Chains A and B, each alone.
Chain A
Amino acid sequence: MRPWRGTGWEDRSGGEGTMEEPRLRLMAAPHLHAQDSTARIMWSVVATLVPVVLAAVWFFGAGVLLVIGAAMLGAMLVERLLGPGGAIRDGSAAITGLLLGLTLPPGFPLWMAFIGGAFGIGFGKLIFGGLGQNIFNPALLGRAFLQAAFPTAITTWPAVRPGEVLTFQGDLLAAPLMTPAEVDVVTQATPLGLWKFEGEVTGLWDLFVGATGGSLGETSAILILLGGAYLVARNYMNWRIPVGIFATVGLLSILFGLFDPTFPGPLFMIFSGGLVLGAVYMATDMVTSPITNGGAWIFAFGIGFLVVLIRGWGGLPEGVMYAILIMNALVPFIERITQPRVFGKERGVKKAEAA
């Protein structure tokens, strides 16, 4: 074998062919790529929430747009200032702010909503390393922070006023850190509060459509379910998680109903409070839910179980937020025990040869 010098290497390049040669690239296989992108997934989630927001406007007035806007502003501002460059475009901060806004009561002071969004992104996501690295759902972490910091404001539920779009309820413009002015606001207990503290069960139709007191996104179950169905159809959501949560909550409430006749029926349990929003939009957050399908079922069962437990025996009327946050923390362990069986191997015998 001779070295390449003198083998014609010098005279072989160019000149031989008649065609133009564009500059060619060296890229690793595969050379094709599917159209979906992370940004498209995120913004699709945002888009499916628009009808939910509009329903909130219908039931609680245009003030809800300010609450949601403040939460989104807080989340996106922190992402823009402290996150990696261009991260705002992937839409994940927008989702965090939007979902946080939907968990807040109408008439919630705007500055608090802003703080909640900022906390959610700052301490819920960026501190872990940004997109994809966080353990807890940032929107729920933001809400947990608000619940601890402002327990009164976050449990003040202005009444539903369907169609009165231009009324602004509550103390939206309260100044930061000041004692809120006494605002004349008509409040209404949430269905879960009514059940827990008054023993009164709200009608199912009102629950389903959303004509009840509660957080902005706790109301319209049907619109949330439609949005979720669209995301499932587009393969932007793991359907096993909401289905598993609904099934667990339903079955457990039937079970407990056998022993305790005052325990509400499965449909009330599913459609009251934040369960539908939590199951469809919060628990399914891709980053903070298990990546394996087996894990998704375990995760869903855990959330459903904790929700029933907290609602039935806890001190709070609602437990979806804590249920999801607790299960978020367990995701790495769940994933570890639910690794898929590899093609051509038996399940579980990882190191048969090594042993």
Chain B
Amino acid sequence: MATRTDRRAPKRGLAGLGELLFGPSFRHGVHPPEAKGLTEALPIRRMPFPEEIVLPLRQHTGAPSRVIASVDDRVERGDVLGVADGYVSVPVHASASGVIKDIGWWPHPSGTMDTAVRIQVDRFAPQLTRPRIVPEWRGLTPDQVRKAVQNAGVVGLGGAAFPTHVKLNPPKETAIEVLLINGAECEPYLTSDHRVMVEYPERVHFGIRVMMQCLGVDRAVIGVENNKPDAIARLRETIPEDLDIEVIGLTVKYPQGAEKMLIKAVTGREVPSGKLPMHVGAVVQNVGSIAAIAEVFETGYPLIERIVTVTGPGVRKPQNLIVPVGTKTRDVLDFCGGLTPDATEVIFGGPMMGVPQPDLDVPVMKGTSGIVVLTEKESARPQALACISCARCLAACPMFLNPSRLGQMAQLGLFERMAEEYHLEDCMLCGSCSYVCPSNIPLAQMFALGKAGLRRAQQRAREEQAEKERLEKEAAARDQAEREAAQEPARKEREVA
């Protein structure tokens, strides 16, 4: 067992006082209204199967799944529809029994169209006839566990949907000291992680056990924001005696659940710019994803449903739902009593970083942690004014950037200077700067544009370089040919002579 000496020393001074009063934290950040009261006390309910399921093949970070099913196939719940296409990829499984109606383009939550498998759900299928698909956990080697996790299609459920088996397999040369479980759930409105911790704490601990075994670490820390005392208490009550698991109550502050911020709060270490958590000896996993690992091994079913918080002032009956992956947003909202007439935005994820959905046909995916519906009251924005250098964005930015300056440069399109002199690449688009800006400047949006502009510029530079090299090569070849052609008559003359 790891010695406790590697735990960080308490802070001194004002920061120490803050830690004593509110729990460990990172520096800067903002305090949006928590707004979790709508659903935080509601037990998780199961939603009935919809008439149709739409499963995009691109539901995770990495390569999209490669489809192996075909139209008119009859599939059972848990059948593989698309297989992992490479290492950083996972399969997609049918989340309900039925007949494949179509494989083609469908609106995707990222705002584009993408290939998806549409299943006409069989209304009379029992949906539970399959034997165990995922093997029993006991007796598996770490490699077999990773394979089983990949085959079960498990990804991070916090939003980015990064394949979990990759996280379970850090490079040999990195020394992982601690497994951090992210139960901060710092996004306003969302409560799905909160309910998981309250209702399934044993599942969380089981998932931690699986992960600790895979990673070979003997210490895990669960970080939970202090606005969820019931979750902290339930997790502490249920810690298995043979595991070194610590539950830490963190300051309620956005973005406490950002990976780097959580590591800073819990271990006191800053992940170096451009590096991964493993460089400071940590692996971070979202609490919902941990529970998903456990669930997969417990039930024997792959990841085909997830817990979604459907909430916000624009939805009539907010609740925490177990939703089959691939259920269309319209069906979920329908089940929650529909939208109020003043609803303005339907957001996948939390209101700070979530993606707005203009089309209610988009399906719930593995990474969809919440559906938040806002109304005119939250959406209304006065006209943006000029920056008055009030410095609130500097005090809000958890990465200690200068959003004011970055914003001015973004308006001029100076993306390269933004990156070179003002660290644009360190921005994680948490939106804290936009949130506090009294002049209502859409800073985070400008930085997203800046990052895209930068990528385009770099791409263009690469292409121009390649084009230049090609032209030079051609010119050289032409010169060579001309020289040879010039020598040709001379040689002929010599030959004649």
Seen from chain A, the residues whose Cβ lies within 8 Å of a Cβ on chain B are 1-4, 7-9, 12-13, 16-22, 24-34, 36-38, 40-41, 90, 92, 130-133, 235, 238, 286-287, 289, 291-293, 335, 339-345, 350-351, 354
Contacts and interface: CB of A to CB of B under 8 A. Distances in A.
Nearest to A31: B351
Given A13-B361, A343-B270, A22 B344 contact: yes
Interface in B190-246: none
A17 B400 contact: no
A280 to B, nearest CB: 16
A25 B356 contact: yes
Contact of A8 (B118, B260, B435): B118
Given A8-B102, A31-B351, A287 B388 contact: yes
B402 A31 contact: no
B448 A38 contact: no
A27 B344 CA distance: 10
Given A31-B347, A32-B188, A90 B385 contact: yes
Interface string B337-351: 011111111110001
Contacts of A344: 260, 270-275, 399, 426
Given A1-B115, A17-B331, A37-B438, A28 B400 contact: no
B33 interface: yes
A64 B364 CA distance: 66
A24 B387 CA distance: 29
Contacts of B438: 34, 36-38, 40-41
Residue of B275, B387, B438, B442 with most chain A CB atoms under a 10 A cut-off: B438
Q: Which 10 pairs across A and B sit closest by C-beta, in order of nearness?
A: A19-B338, A30-B431, A132-B386, A7-B104, A28-B445, A344-B273, A31-B351, A343-B399, A30-B352, A131-B386
B104 A21 contact: no
A242 to B, nearest CB: 15
Residue of A3, A25, A343 with most chain B CB atoms under a 10 A cut-off: A343
Given A31-B356, A354-B420, A37 B402 contact: no
B74 to A, nearest CB: 19
Contacts of B388: 38, 41, 92, 131-132, 286-287
Interface stretch (B37-45, B133-141, B176-184, B389-397): B389-397
Nearest to B435: A30
B379 A27 contact: yes
Interface in B21-45: 30, 32-33
B333 to A, nearest CB: 7
13 contacts: A25-B345, A27-B381, A28-B445, A29-B356, A31-B372, A33-B434, A34-B30, A37-B439, A132-B386, A286-B388, A340-B401, A343-B426, A344-B273
B429 to A, nearest CB: 8
Contacts of B445: 28-29
A352 B16 CA distance: 33
B436 interface: yes
Contacts, number: 211
Contact of A22 (B343, B352, B390, B429): B343
Interface string B240-266: 000000000000000000001000100
A287 B271 CA distance: 34
A341 B32 CA distance: 25
A293 B400 CA distance: 12
Contacts of A4: 104-105, 113
Contact of A31 (B273, B275, B374, B440): B374
Residue of B333, B339, B391 with most chain A CB atoms under a 10 A cut-off: B391
Contacts of A22: 339-344
Interface residues of B, number: 85
A38 B439 contact: yes
Contact of A24 (B354, B358, B386, B392): B358
Contact of A17 (B330, B358, B440): B330
Contacts of A25: 344-345, 356, 358, 379
Contact of B339 (A13, A20, A131): A20
Contacts of A17: 330-331, 333-334, 338, 360
B338 A24 contact: no
A27 B390 contact: no
B352 A32 contact: yes
A17 B101 CA distance: 19
B435 A34 contact: yes
A50 B260 CA distance: 46
Contacts of A132: 385-389, 439
B386 A8 contact: no
A111 to B, nearest CB: 31
Nearest to B340: A22
Contacts of A3: 104-105
Contacts of B422: 339
A235 B30 CA distance: 13
B398 interface: yes
A54 to B, nearest CB: 27
A341 B340 CA distance: 46
A185 to B, nearest CB: 40
Contact of A341 (B101, B400, B436): B400
A341 B273 CA distance: 12
Residue of A4, A17, A292 with most chain B CB atoms under a 10 A cut-off: A17
A350 B270 contact: no
Contact of B385 (A9, A131, A292): A131
Contacts of A286: 388-391
B346 A24 contact: yes
Given A20-B339, A37-B438, 7 more contacts: A8-B102, A25-B356, A235-B392, A286-B391, A292-B391, A343-B400, A350-B420
Contacts of B392: 36, 235
Nearest to A19: B338
Nearest to A87: B385
A235 B31 CA distance: 14
Contact of A291 (B270, B372, B404, B436): B404
B175 to A, nearest CB: 19
Contacts of B405: 291, 335
B378 interface: yes
Contact of A33 (B105, B264, B429, B435): B435
A37 B392 CA distance: 11
Nearest to B448: A28
Nearest to B429: A29
Contact of B33 (A2, A26, A30, A32): A32
A4 B106 CA distance: 8
Interface in B414-445: 420-423, 426, 429, 431-432, 434-436, 438-440, 442, 444-445
A31 B374 CA distance: 8
Residue of A24, A27, A340 with most chain B CB atoms under a 10 A cut-off: A24
Given A38-B438, A238-B391, A351-B420, A30 B426 contact: no
B286 interface: no
Contact of B394 (A9, A32, A38, A340): A340
Contacts of A350: 420-421, 423
Contacts of B372: 31
B171 interface: no
Contacts of B274: 344
B423 A345 contact: yes
A16 to B, nearest CB: 7
B95 interface: no
A37 B440 contact: yes
Nearest to A9: B105
B399 A342 contact: yes
